[in-house]
Amino acid sequence: MAAMVSAYLFVFLALFGMVASDPDLLQDLCVANKAAGIKVNGFPCKDEANITEADFFFSGLANPGAINNSVGSVVSGANVEKIPGLNTLGVSLARIDYQPGGLNPPHTHPRATEIIFVLEGELDVGFITTSNKLIAKSVKKGDVFVFPKGLVHFQKNNGDKPASVIAGFNSQLPGTQSIAATLFTSTPPVPDNVLTKAFQIGTKAVDKIKNKLAPKKS
């Protein structure tokens, strides 16, 4: 009986370890030392004597971000790259602003679940499960919606006024892969014969999409 309990406990702990997001911290603080030049899973810790309140502060979400792209939305992150004190804490935020008609295109966060709180406006939001089911809803100011970790999701402002949300993540750096940009603007590029086969389109259509999505030269 004891052996069976031990086996179940081992399996439970193994599964818990696999589904957890960022690793748990092993000390009070591990402020990111991004200048260390050492590659680890996260960032090495800053010397505690050099830690200040500035390592835990960021004011970059107070105002709407400037939107100057073709999709009509912009994401302003408040993650470990902006707030070094988030290192090892397993949490971050972002603000997303949308023009009327603006879209946060289909994308995934490979390292985090996302939860949004609507600050202003109305949005059509949704995610797609691995069984190809769309879970979608219209949300308005004060509403909350959750996008499970790793699933493709989107937000679209179908209103005639700007909209904005605050997004929370259970990772200090959730990562973002925009589906279209990932496939059509990667370096080196995904071979055309892969894209034509996957999307059942010709090479001219592939080239047209690549040109549309290519970063604008300043």
Dist. CA 78–CA 169, nearest whole Å: 10
For the chain, give the percent of residues with pLDDT over 70: 89
Report how many helices (DSSP H) and strands (DSSP E) the chain contains, helices first: 4, 10
Output the known binding site for oxalate.
104, 109, 114
pTM: 0.85
Residues 6+ apart with CB under 8 A from 112: 21, 92, 149, 169, 170, 171, 174, 175
Please give the structure tokens belonging to residue 161. 């006024």
Q: Which pLDDT score is estimated for 57? A: 98
Residue 17, pLDDT > 60, answer: no
Output the known binding site.
104, 107, 109, 114, 153
How many other C-beta atoms are found inside a 10 Å radius of the C-beta of residue 182?
Answer: 13
Output the known binding site for Mn(2+).
107, 109, 114, 153
Residue 199, pLDDT > 50, answer: yes
Query: What is the pLDDT of the chain when averaged over all its residues?
Result: 90
